[in-house]
Structure 1
Amino acid sequence: MDLFSGEKLIWKLPDAELIYIANFFSNHEASNYFERLLEDINWQQDEIKVFGKTYQQPRLTALYGESNTPYSYSGITMHPNPFSKDLLEIKTKVEEETQHHFNSVLLNLYRNGNDSNGWHADNEASLGIHPVIASVSFGEERYFHFKHRQLKNERHKVLLQHGSLLIMKGAMQEHWLHQIAKTKRKVGSRINLTFRKLI
């Protein structure tokens, strides 16, 4: 898929709908948020188990929310910090665009091309059936890969730009997997905010 700056693109795919807005935040806004979040967020690096072996997760993460409700995924249980002023500002703008209320945000810090997030779906029971996930990107551009679980020809990628918003809707988390792959290119840091509603 080729994306052009400034466009709002909508894809109605088998079992999913994606919306991408390249310049959801201006370059100035996005750069300011990136610098402040990099400094102010309580970043952590959790351990994950893969085939019985324990590894450091290949990125830093943080959870913020409206309540003390924890969020568990891939054997990790995270406990939220209260929303900061910046996160509330970002959340309000995302909610206005999506017409959807979010009570939690999982942040990822990809420090360089070695940091990644393997194939997965945001399909935890705490997110409910067919959740809306809104993903904001600040910093270095990285490719977002997604593929259908059964339809082998349905495999795509989108370059997530600085200040962009990607919205995943419909049955995507049930029928599709997505990832941020490692890259050998020399790339800087990227902060990703994935807004969601825990039930």
Structure 2
Amino acid sequence: MALTLLPLPAAEVLLDTHFLPALLAQTLLTELTTSIAWRQEPIKLFGKEVLQPRLTAWYGDAGAQYSYSGLTWQPLPWTLELQELREQVEAACGTSFNSVLLNLYRHGQDSMGWHADNEPELGREPVIASVSLGAARNFRLRPRDPQRTPHEPVTLELPSGSLLVMRGSTQQHWLHAVPKTARPIGPRLNLTFRRIVTA
């Protein structure tokens, strides 16, 4: 399959649910879960310091520093597996990336709250390419301002091996999240490739 544009106003969201073969997706999940330098960082939420409800890691080119939620990340050097996957994603998107944020959702109670990837170092209209490995989780989208962008919230189930791309004005007009689920569910690893604008 190829990337398919979803019919959303003021956004460019594309999805390929069969980007990686099942065996390769499973192999990458196993290798990356054990080899990546995972961290669980504290963040400020409603004035309180809590641990992020997932494990995270930041890899990329030298100088591709990234700040969000009060955290500043210095990139770890690319591993062979991450470099090979970056090349596949770049070929599919026609875009070059210099960094990747990895999120490991260990179970259904790990989650990601509503947000936009709109930090200054990503530029005005960033391309965010997201590869999912492991258990399928719901990915939700909703308009940042429903009056300016009238549309119902959207739920996409992202299976293992899928590639989701957000580009154009998506981050200006839409928020996204990965909600918790009460269903018993295995781990999901998500890799979001980005380009940090460096001086």
Relative to structure 1, the CA distance from residue 104 to residue 7 in structure 2 (aligned partners, 3 Å threshold; closer, same or farther) is closer
Deviation, 1:153, is 3.0
Q: Deviations over 1:79-123 (max 9, x none)?
A: 110000000110000000100000000000000000000000000
Gaps of 5+ in 1: 1-5
Aligned with 1:89 (options 84, 93, 98): 84
Letter in 2 for 1:169: R
Tell me the percent identity: 47
> Equivalents in 1 of 2:179, 2:2: separation in Å?
25
Aligned with 1:171 (options 169, 172, 180): 169
Letter in 2 for 1:9: T
Q: How does 1:119-130 map to 2 (within 5 A)?
A: 119-130=114-125
* Contact in 1 for aligned 2:105/2:189 (Cα 8 Å): yes
Q: How does 1:46-85 map to 2 (within 5 A)?
A: 46-85=41-80
Relative to structure 1, the CA distance from residue 7 to residue 131 in structure 2 (aligned partners, 3 Å threshold; closer, same or farther) is closer
Which deviates more, 153-162 or 81-90? 153-162
Letter in 1 for 2:18: N
Letter in 2 for 1:158: L
Q: Which residue of 1 aligns with 2:103?
A: 108
Q: Which residue of 2 aligns with 1:131?
A: 126
Deviation, 1:8, is 4.1
Gaps of 5+ in 2: none
1:11 pairs with 2:6 = yes
Aligned with 1:118 (options 108, 113, 120): 113
Q: How does 1:24-43 map to 2 (within 5 A)?
A: 24-43=19-38
> Equivalents in 1 of 2:119, 2:143: separation in Å?
18
- Where does structure 1 differ by over 6 angstroms across 4 or more consecutive aligned residues? none
> Equivalents in 1 of 2:49, 2:117: separation in Å?
22
Q: How does 1:146-165 map to 2 (within 5 A)?
A: 146-151=141-146, 152-165=150-163
Letter in 2 for 1:41: I
Q: Deviations over 1:126-174 (max 9, x none)?
A: 0001100000000000000000112253310110000000000110111
**Number of aligned positions between the proteins:** 194
> Equivalents in 2 of 1:132, 1:68: separation in Å?
19
Q: Which residue of 1 aligns with 2:182?
A: 184
Deviation, 1:68, is 3.2
> Equivalents in 2 of 1:68, 1:57: separation in Å?
24
The CA RMSD over aligned residues, in Å, is: 1.1
> Equivalents in 2 of 1:138, 1:46: separation in Å?
22
Partner SS state of residue 6, structure 2: strand
Letter in 2 for 1:59: R
